[in-house]
Chain A
């Protein structure tokens, strides 16, 4: 359990201190909220042998991580750059035997993370049965006899990463992670199941008292968090709820590099190795495609909650000196 202390640090420091070669990593996000700045930094630091756990992942983040040679193994349901309709680097890495891929369904993956979250070894699920996933992925999927009914039921192994990497809208400097709009999809389970803890990039850093004013929105409590990095545009080119939409044109641009083994190193050199950090990456973007490219991603706002809630503390001190309630029946 991480102590109550300031967890804010730089992207470089967070990745070098908390992600080791060979780690099993819960890779956060889904079709948006992909932890892209962390992905780039892992590539910059040339981490090796990572084993990825994830339900579904888009925008080519995992494709870059695999293409750069950081990943040995993946356990997931879906991986894509949806804007070029293919996971090109993953495809090549599987064909050459460079990565091992263990396929499972989305709910299978979510259940595996839930089992990890619950600290139990496996969990029954519906689905997967009768598919080739259950034939090929015996690391994650088995069929057992339901001890109560005697029927066959698929079970999935609990997934517990060494470390989780996610991008969030906000975090405080203690490490409380705040998300809204589908509660991080599967991030709350993937993070809590992580053995060492969570590395998070956030669009904004706030004070703990701000988080404590609305604790329902905390998806990862501070004690699981290893490092907090202030990182605007940290999910780019995927989107971040309430901050920016998916940069479809950049995903397509990146995808054209993912597509070719010969071209991909040029993308990695220009956009990752050639950028000191994520700020430099965003500066490069502005220099190459213009600030209007980023402006185009700004969402239409005006979707603020219309329910003004108050958590309403009631002080039990009001009972001091109040006599017991009674009536004639109780007295008799």
Chain B
């Protein structure tokens, strides 16, 4: 099938739609940054953007923010007051959407951005970056969105390191964080959209991208994936959406 878009482009466009106009969104480094910029330039012009670098914005960044303390975030920001001030908004419970990436996710939505292998046997452990602010965002955002390319090494039965606790740990119930549990409400990959069955804490395939099949998605997932009875196809991105998205990342830093 011929597509006029890349799967990571659809991933961003689809994920952006989960943000409602007017919401307070805390975006982590990587794909969340380009996704929120796209959302602000399209259906969510009144979104409020917070980042770990310490800027608060009512307007879309003037260009692609590659880092969370990027000039694109603090030039023309509404307030640029440092990490303590933006992350304090999370702690106070003022953030509607915590938006994170990750390196591994398991069927209960536990996310790993620290490394793979057994941490306690250092020789086996390969470090990634670490939590950064992802754990804080997931712990205190009212909703957690996660975006990550799909790959059987990323969608695993059990994450090697729990950086961000999900709806349930493998060994029992998740530890409660105040009144809420951290797990994501939605995960968007390069193949589909996942939500969670709140009774079991398990990930459920809710949408598949055009051209993907349940079989193919299952083959790119290392756990026994549950399928929603309301499974549907994700709409393809429009020409306008693709034009806007590509104008945000002209060199393909994130979407190349």
List A residues at the B interface (Cβ < 8 Å).
30-33, 55-56, 58, 76-80, 82, 86-87, 90-91, 94-97, 101, 103-108, 110, 114, 125-133, 136, 181-186, 188-189, 239, 241, 245-246, 248, 299, 303
Contacts and interface: CB of A to CB of B under 8 A. Distances in A.
Contacts of B138: 127
Contacts of A56: 52, 129-130, 132-133
23 contacts: A30-B53, A30-B83, A31-B53, A31-B68, A31-B70, A32-B67, A56-B129, A87-B128, A94-B127, A101-B127, A105-B135, A106-B52, A107-B133, A110-B84, A126-B90, A127-B135, A129-B175, A130-B162, A130-B174, A133-B135, A185-B54, A186-B83, A188-B82
B131 A131 contact: yes
Nearest to B166: A130
Contacts of B124: 95
B37 interface: no
Contacts of A104: 131
B129 A125 contact: no
Interface in B24-70: 29, 52-55, 66-70
B132 A106 contact: yes
A255 B61 CA distance: 28
Interface stretch (B72-80, B184-192, B193-201, B209-217): B72-80
Task: Indicate the member of B71, B75, B128 with the most A CB atoms within 10 Å.
Answer: B71
A182 B80 contact: yes
A91 B136 contact: no
B119 interface: yes
A241 B69 CA distance: 10
Given A32-B70, A91-B126, A106-B131, A126 B83 contact: no
Given A56-B130, A107-B83, 15 more contacts: A30-B69, A30-B83, A91-B126, A103-B130, A105-B131, A105-B133, A106-B133, A126-B90, A127-B136, A130-B169, A130-B182, A131-B165, A181-B71, A181-B74, A246-B66
A87 B91 CA distance: 29
B129 A129 contact: no
Interface in B98-136: 114-115, 119-120, 122-136
A77 B175 CA distance: 21
Interface string B148-177: 000000000000011111000100001101
B114 to A, nearest CB: 6
B132 to A, nearest CB: 4
Contacts of A241: 71, 74
Contacts of B147: none
A56 B136 CA distance: 13
B163 A130 contact: no
B19 interface: no
B54 A182 contact: yes
B140 to A, nearest CB: 5
A133 B91 contact: no
A226 B27 CA distance: 36
A76 B70 contact: no
Contacts of A303: 75-76
Top 6 closest A-B pairs, CB basis?
Answer: A31-B67, A127-B139, A130-B165, A78-B132, A106-B133, A182-B54
Contacts, number: 171
B132 A130 contact: no
B81 interface: yes
Contact of B127 (A30, A87, A181): A87
A132 B163 CA distance: 6
Nearest to A106: B133
Interface in B224-239: none
Contact of A79 (B87, B130, B133): B130
Contact of A77 (B115, B127, B130): B130
A303 B82 CA distance: 19
Contacts of B71: 181, 239, 241, 245, 299
Given A128-B139, A133-B163, A186 B84 contact: yes
A128 B135 contact: yes
Given A126-B177, A131-B135, A246 B67 contact: yes
A106 B83 contact: yes
A59 B82 CA distance: 19
Task: Indicate the member of B75, B169, B182 with the most A CB atoms within 10 Å.
Answer: B75
A139 B71 CA distance: 35
A189 B83 CA distance: 10
A107 B87 contact: yes
Contacts of B128: 86-87
A136 B119 contact: yes
B178 interface: yes
Contacts of B29: 31, 82
A106 B100 CA distance: 13
A47 B54 CA distance: 32
A94 B69 CA distance: 27
Contacts of A97: 122
Task: Indicate the member of B29, B53, B120, B164 with the most A CB atoms within 10 Å.
Answer: B53
A182 B82 contact: yes
Given A95-B123, A114-B84, A130 B175 contact: yes
A94 B67 contact: no
Given A110-B84, A185-B83, A132 B162 contact: yes
